[in-house]
Structure 1
Amino acid sequence: MNPLMLLIRLLKPLLYPLSLLYGAIMWLRNKLYDAGLISSIQFSVPVISVGNLSTGGTGKTPHIEYLIRLLQYEYKVATMSRGYKRNTTGFFLAGPQTDARSIGDEPMQFHRKFPEVVVSVCEDRMTGIPRLLGERPDVDVVLLDDAFQHRSVKPGLNILIIDFAKPFYKDFILPFGSLRESRKAYRRADMIVVSKCPPELDRSAQQEMIRRIRPRPHQQVFFSAIVYDTPVDFFTGEPMSLTAADHVVMVSGIAKPEPMLAHLRLSAAEVHLLRYPDHHYFTTNNLEEIRQTYSNWDVAGKLIMTTEKDATRLAMHRDILEQWQARIAVLPIKVQLLQDAPVFDLRVKDYIIKEKEDMLYS
């Protein structure tokens, strides 16, 4: 173990008192909401929240996209995110000239992939949703991204995403662990999805996790895996082939690039990873590092591969990238429910139908 990692391990117990303090603050906040002393607003449109208990990448974005694919042909779907690391504030509606700086990389990913979906951002969903519905009254359902702790809005359907590799029952509250609030907060969820599961996860292993989660009677637990789709050309969006003879410069600015790295190493001859912080906006120096790494690699059949989220930020430098005359690909991902996909889909659609019926007769 290197000296830095050893120092972190030795100092970590000192963070435990801070976790107790932070946990007490979150406990009091939740109690005030539960008692109605702080009010939550429910809107006259179906609102589905997708969130998590922990920091870092649990896979919320591909689950939002799963819901978009499920609903977009029957309903006018809108998404609302905070818009992390954007250079705008308040409510902002994506349009033809929008880029990642205006709305954040994940909302920009929705905007690029699903042009018929209404993509919006606002730090305060309580004020953002009325703005959204005022400007787009045709919206039938709102998907709230990363809103499990945003309790000023009471969603009609609360979907909690937990990471298979680090479930909340093995974690601790910040800063000692990565939980944003107490483990018991999972009880607010209507549906729980264990994400990033091994595709071969069998029923007995699933049942053991369900036993550890201890779902309430009203909660259903589902399991999903990440599926890598066919790479597409960064510039044209056309499918690209990746062969066992290819050498890949992987450019990653996401929280957990290891699964994609492992996938590429199974598919390509060699992979060289250039890793940047999560949600990183690429600088001139970064671009030069990427260009030189690609240009100086003296191999045949080489290409640059990046994630969909990174592609939204790299697109802001499209003119520079075109000058490289390099093969640049984007690797899309999807989620696949391991079992019970029809049950999940039906639960979501039944909620929307019931909400709309209640609105009709209220």
Structure 2
Amino acid sequence: MPSVLAFLLLPFSWLYAGVLAARNWLYDIGWKRAETFAVPLLNVGNLRVGGTGKTPHVIWLVEELLRQGHRPAILSRGYGRQTKGPRLASAQDSAATVGDEPWQYFGLFASQRVPVSVAEERSLGAQLLLQQHPEITVIVLDDAYQHRAVRPTLNILLTELARPFYDDLVLPAGRLRESRSGAKRADVVIVTKCPPDLSETAQHAIAARVQCYTNPDVPVLFSAYAYAPPHALHPEAGAEPVAQNVVLTPGSALLLTGIAQPGPLRNELEKQGFDIRRHADFPDHYAFTPADVAALRMHWQPGWPIFTTEKDATRLQSPELRAAQVGLPFYTIPVRVAFLGSGSAALRRLLPGAPVPNA
């Protein structure tokens, strides 16, 4: 049930939703032009503000496209970066210059020659990618569901099981970026952060509610988080951290996060037997400072691991932050996507065909 405050804010939500509806209508009737490109654009987005799991789903898509023989690229807005305009990520960049999520993608896929670009205007970012990397066969758009100036070939809408769009309201009364009717643009909907044992009965009930807002026959898939073994980071002042898989003994631990939804990671760590003695929980995309690390050190005791996310780790790599971490055992827990049932096969069928090798 909406709170009293939500009811009071409803008129503002109606006004905001009306403005966005008018904008979307102009695109729908062709008065505002949506640009297309010579290669397919696969968009991963949502209707809601906050973490619905876009990053691990983008990673799944890129890994699958690589497996199929594509030459994919990733295009993001680069939220939180200190630069402007279209920019190709390079080894000289950082989370500060391209944003934490694009920098995470660059670290994961640079060795596989997957270009990563950031641009507020996605059309300019796509043009830059294709100019600099004509070998690209597909571009994965990270969080461009409301960016109507480009037209995706495949629009993938994510909604979190605990906070589905069909139970939410438009900002500021709720957390939706646009009205629920925006789901009509989706070619497939993925319900994210599900328990791996979510019953088929529950899946059918959720899918029925989703399909009240989508076009007929739009598939509704379900995904869960799969947590990989920890990666140890051993930062030393003036040196790059070394990452490796480790096995940790459950016990007391600290947690440092600056993401929208840290709850699933904390729950996973507690399920593994870790007692989180302190959780330094900062807002999404928060720029950590040496003082934040020093404050965490005050709560640390020898032998306690300090966990953080892969995305947060990208913002802990500046020289001053690496220096502040000396002697502290930081670990990341890689998060990947596991589809329930035949979901992965269903999504693969929607992807563009593998490129034909040159004769």
TM-score by length of 1: 0.90
Q: Is contact 1:79-1:143 (8 Å) kept?
A: yes
Once superposed, what is the RMSD of the aligned Cα atoms?
Answer: 1.8
Name the one with the larger helix percent: 1
Q: Determine if the alignment matches structure 1 residue 239 to structure 2 residue 254.
A: no
| CA displacement, residues 1-40 of structure 1 (integer Å, 9 cap, x when unaligned) | xxxxxxx955332211100100100110111111101111
1:149, CA displacement in angstroms? 0.6
Q: How does 1:80-119 map to 2 (within 5 A)?
A: 80-115=75-110, 116=112, 117-119=114-116
Is 1:303 the counterpart of 2:334? The answer is no
Q: Deviations over 1:230-261 (max 9, x none)?
A: 000123211011222x3211001111111111
1:260 matched to 2:255? The reply is no
Residue 109 of structure 1 aligns to a residue whose secondary structure is helix
> What secondary structure sits across from 1:287 in the alignment?
helix
Percent identity over the alignment is 39
1:333 aligns with 2:335: yes
**Whole-angstrom CA distance in 2 between matches of 1:174 and 1:225:** 27
- In structure 2, C-alpha distance between the alignment counterparts of 1:222 and 1:42, rounded to whole Å: 27
Quick check: 1:46–1:352 contact (8 Å CA) kept in 2? no
- Aligned equivalents of 1:238, 1:93: Cα separation in 2: 28
Residues in 2 aligned to 1:137 and 1:165: alpha-carbon distance in whole angstroms: 41
Separation (CA, whole Å) in 2 of partners of 1:166 and 1:84: 22
Q: C-alpha deviations, 1:184-228, integer Å up to 9, x for none?
A: 110111111000111110111100011111242341110000111
The Cα offsets for residues 142-184 of structure 1, whole Å up to 9 and x where unpaired, read as 0000001111100111100011111111111111011111101
Q: Counterparts in 2 of 1:24-35, with a 5 A limit?
A: 24-35=18-29
Distance change >3 Å, CA 148–CA 352, structure 1 → 2: farther
Instruction: Determine the structure 1 residue equivalent to 2:222.
Output: 223
Contact 1:282–1:314 (8 Å) recurs in 2: yes
- The code of the aligned residue for 1:101 comes to A
Q: Equivalent residues in 2 for 1:21-100 (5 A)? A: 21-73=15-67, 74-100=69-95
Report Cα offsets for 1:82-103 as digits up to 9, x if no partner: 0001011011101111110011
- SS of aligned partner of 1:70: helix
Q: SS of the counterpart of 1:72?
A: helix
Partner residue of 2:299 out of 293, 297, 310:
293
C-alpha deviation, 1:321, in angstroms: 4.2
Deviation at 1:303, TM superposition (A): 1.2
Instruction: Name the SS for the 2:349 alignment partner.
Output: helix
Secondary structure, in 3 states, of the residue corresponding to 1:114?
helix
State which of 128, 131, 135 in structure 2 corresponds to 1:134: 131
Matched, 1:168 2:171: no
Equivalence for 1:11: 5
Matches within 5 A, 1:150-165: 150-165=147-162
Question: Would you say the 8 A contact 2:294–2:324 is kept in 1?
Answer: no
- Determine which of 320, 323, 338 is the counterpart of 1:320: 323
Give distance in 1, aligned partners of 2:230 and 2:190.
Answer: 26
Does the aligned pair in 2 maintain the 1:228–1:332 contact within 8 Å?
yes
SS of 1:227's equivalent in the other structure is: strand
Q: Which runs of 4+ in 1 moved over 6 A?
A: none
Letter in 2 for 1:283: T
Count the aligned residue pairs: 342
Q: Secondary structure at the match of 1:49?
A: strand
- 1:173 and 1:181 in contact (8 A); partners too: yes
Partner-residue secondary structure (3-state), 1:40: coil
Distance 2:53 2:306 in 1: 23
Question: SS at the partner of 1:238?
Answer: strand
* Bigger shift: residues 337-346 or 227-236: 337-346
Say whether the 8 Å CA contact 2:253–2:304 is kept in structure 1: yes
Is the contact made by 1:88 and 1:103 (CA closer than 8 Å) also made in structure 2?
yes
CA-to-aligned-CA distance 1:291-346 (integer Å, 9 cap, x gap) = 2222xx3xx63111100000000112453145x32221111101100111343343
Query: Normalising to structure 2: TM-score of the pair?
Result: 0.91
Contact 2:73 2:138 survives alignment (8 Å): yes
Specify the SS of the correspondent of 1:314: coil
CA distance in 2, matches of 1:167, 1:12: 17
Task: Tell me the secondary structure at the aligned position of residue 298 of structure 2.
Answer: helix
